[in-house]
Every structure is written in structure tokens, then in C-alpha cells.
Chain A
Amino acid sequence: MVMDKKSSLTMEISSDEGYAEVAVLRVCGALDFSGITMLSNVFEKLFGEARPYVIVDMAGIESICSAALGEFMGYRKRFVEQGGNLVFAGLAGNVRSKLTLLGANKIFSFYQDVRGAVNAYRWDYKKHSKSVSIAFPSFLQFVPPVRQFASRLAKQNGYSAKDAFRIETIVDEVCNNAVEHGEAGKGSEVEIKVSINKEKIALSVSNKSDPDKVAVLKELVKPAMPVSHVGDDDKRGRGLALIKMLSNELDVEITERGTSVHVTKLREE
């Protein structure tokens, strides 16, 4: 920890477990002009240690001057050039208001706390995936909330409305097929696992097979008819054709015991 005895400003560097390149800089006190040299020394130290992703924990900052903000901006640029970033976490109301007034929110990412900033690092830089698993009774009426959940999940994680709509459609079609062609009745379930990261969303949908429908299902997943040839009398295959056109990878495994469908959709916009 370094300390400015005149102003009682302190700065302490710590690490995030598991990510050596991430530095958490905890700043406490009033960050005014006299603290800039201390700030600069700390950042130069981080450059020397090749730790280009810096989370500045501002929870203990009482005030900040515009010159200090300028220092942050200059170093942020250098960290970004090194493939990292400089972000703010834990901003108190008055400090946050001042930084927003100065337009800093257009340059820096603000996070609620250090954990949020680390999660953003994992998401942006480590392609960390978030996963959700859902099991629902094998009835059609349970599919709409599941597809709408997948759409919201995509939107909440920065996917565009168009991508979210396509994901909603894929989930809908895969789950409808699982209900229609899988084992029906009391106790039968469809399981869906959704894994999402910054670049893609992966879906795995599985259900028990209905022995009487396995042959029909295997026929359906043979190389599909060209979608342009789908006529108004064709009752089957549209859903699968849609999934194929909207996704980047599709893999279907059908056995007498169960069916698993794996779909990957890359983020497009």
C-alpha cells in the first residue's frame, strides 16, 4: 500500500484470484492534484508487471479532481493499447455524478463492484460462458416461456434484438420438435441447457424418445429438402429447415432411449 501523508490518500494493489493480468487498485481518500504522482507511479508499476487490465475500486474515494480524471484517461489509453483496459468499480453517488457530468461514463466502464468488473473481464477477455439449465414437462404450453427466457437472456448479455429473435425461434422450434416427437405423458420432461458467451450461444435439448416415433424422426433429420421448395402442402420439416438456416451448427443424435439436439448460433450484430 502507498500513502500520501499530507492528504491521507491511499492506494493498494491486489490481484484477482486466477487472473494474474488483472490488478485491483483500491483508492481511498480525496483524489486531488497532489495524488496524481502517486497514481502515475502505481500505473507504471502495473505496466512493468504486465498487468494491463486494471479495476479501480473507487468505493473509498471521497472526491476526485478533473486533473486526476485526465490521468486515468491517459493511462486507460495505454492499457487498451496493451490489450487491456482501465475500468471503475464501486463509485459512490457523488463521485459517480461528477464523473458522469464530466463525460467519463462515455469513456470508462462503470461497475457496481469489483466482482462485476471481474465478471465483465471474464466475459470480454476470457470468453467466459454463462449456463442455464431448465427442465419442463413435455407439453407445448411450456415452450413459449422457455423461448422467451432464451431471448431475454441473449438481450441481457448484449445480443441485438434481431439475434435474440432468431435465438427465440431456434429454441421454440427445437423444443416444439422435442415435445412433438418425444415421449409424451405424465412425468416426461424436456431438458434444455443454454450456454452463452460474448461470441455465441449454444443450446442442448434432450428428451426421451417415443419408440413409435423414432423412425419418423430419423427420416425428418436426413438432409433436408431445399427450403425454397417448401410448398403450402408440406406439413413437416419447416421447423428443422428454419433451425438450419438460423443456426451455425446443428447436430442431432437419435437413439431408442433419447434424442439430443445441439445447436450453436454465433452472435451476428
Chain B
Amino acid sequence: METQIQLTCEEISGKSDARIVRFVGDLDATNVDLITEQIFNYFSDGLVKIVADFKQLRYVNSTGLGVLLHFNKTAREKGGCFKIVNLNEDVYEIIEIIGAASLLDIYDEMEDAVAALS
């Protein structure tokens, strides 16, 4: 049984290769495989520019952080990007402590992240 997490996907006007993906729940070792499969399905469908909305992502651990770095790297290799927006303070602290803040593409505001897709 995995920890509860849900992804919902939303189109971005005028950007056919991009999606806003909203994460809701906890990202941890019990559900990284599920999330990896879903994100890689987007990549396979040509949706290589992802804006990950973490407004309702309560928790992430080191395993979850590992897959975020993996998404970031894979998206770039495919000519896209994996941008993160609306991080809560606790999750940001974990990312910062591990030294990954400079490796990930993090934005405070959704509109800035979407604008940066161009």
C-alpha cells in the first residue's frame, strides 16, 4: 500500500508540449515508482515541459527528492524542462539541506514558471 499521492494534469494555452502537473499528498519511497511512471508517460507523449505545482505536496523525503532530480535531468535531455512552483516551507528546507535547490528549477509564482517556458 502506497502513501496517498495524486497527480492531476492541466494544459497550458499555446504550449502543446507543456503541462501543469499538480502533486497532492506525500512523495516518498512507497510511491516514487508510481509517480515516475506517470511523469515518464508524459515525456513519452512528447510533453517534455512540465511545471510541477507543489502547493498541495505536504511531504517529500530523500527518495522523492531523488526522482525529482531524475525528472529534471531527463526533461532537459529531451529538450524540455521540469519546473517546480509553490513549494511549502518544509519541503523547500529538505531540498535546500540536501543541496538540491541549485539543481532544480524552482519558482515562487506559477505565472513566472509558465512564462519561463517560452
Which residues of A are in contact with B by a Cβ distance under 8 Å? 140-141, 143-144, 162, 165, 168-169, 172-173, 176, 226-233, 235, 238-239, 241-242, 245-246
Residues of B within 8 A of A162 (CB): 89-90
Pair A239/B62 contact, Cβ less than 8 Å: yes
- Least CB distance from A140 to B in Å reads 5
B39 at the binding interface (Cβ < 8 Å): no
Contact of A143 among B29, B66, B89, B99 (CB under 8 A): B29
B109: A residues at CB distance < 8 A: none
In the assembled complex, the CB of B116 is this many whole angstroms from the nearest CB of chain A, namely: 19
Q: Is B97 an interface residue (CB 8 A)?
A: yes
* In the complex, chain B residues 35-63 whose Cβ is within 8 Å of any chain A Cβ: 59, 61-63
Question: Given A228-B99, A229-B99, does the pair A242, B94 have CB atoms closer than 8 Å?
Answer: yes
| Contact in complex: A173, B30 (CB < 8 Å) | no
Question: Given A228-B99, A231-B103 in contact, is the A238-B90 Cβ separation under 8 Å?
Answer: no
Say yes or no for B115: interface residue by CB 8 A criterion.
no
Residue pairs across A and B with CB atoms within 8 Å: the count is: 63
Chain B residue with Cβ nearest A168:
B59
Q: Is the CB of A144 within 8 A of B26?
A: yes
Provide 7 A-B residue pairs closer than 8 Å at the C-beta atoms, listed in order of the A residue.
Answer: A144-B28, A165-B59, A172-B61, A228-B99, A230-B99, A232-B73, A242-B61
Given A235-B66, A242-B98: A140 in contact with B61 (beta carbons within 8 A)? no
Q: For A245, list chain B residues within 8 Å (CB).
A: 97-98
Sample of 4 further A-B pairs with CB below 8 A, known A141-B1, A228-B99, A242-B61:
A144-B3, A173-B62, A227-B99, A241-B98
Give chain B nearest CB distance to A237 CB in angstroms: 9
Cα(A232)–Cα(B97), bound, Å: 14
Q: A141 to B66, Cβ gap below 8 A?
A: no
Among A143, A169, A227, contact of B30 (Cβ-Cβ < 8 Å)? A143
Number of interface residues of B (CB under 8 A): 25
Chain B residues with CB under 8 Å of A231's CB are 103
Which residue of the partner chain B has the closest CB to A176? B29
Q: Whole-angstrom distance between the alpha carbons of A259 and B30 in the complex? A: 22
Flag if B103 contacts A232 (CB, 8 Å).
yes
Closest to B61 in A: A172
Determine the distance from Cα of A223 to Cα of B2 in the docked complex, in whole angstroms: 32
Check if B100 is an interface residue, CB within 8 A of chain A: yes
Say whether A144 contacts B97, CB under 8 Å.
no
Bound Cα distance from A131 to B105, whole angstroms: 42
Residues of chain B lying within 8 A (CB to CB) of residue A143: 28-30
User: Given A231-B103, A239-B61 in contact, is the A140-B98 Cβ separation under 8 Å?
Assistant: no
In the complex, which of the residues A230, A239, A246 contacts B100, with contact meaning CB atoms closer than 8 Å? A230
Task: Report the minimal beta-carbon distance from B66 to chain A, rounded to whole angstroms.
Answer: 6
Q: Is B70 in contact with chain A by the CB < 8 A criterion?
A: yes
Instruction: Tell me if B100 and A141 are in contact (CB < 8 A).
Output: no
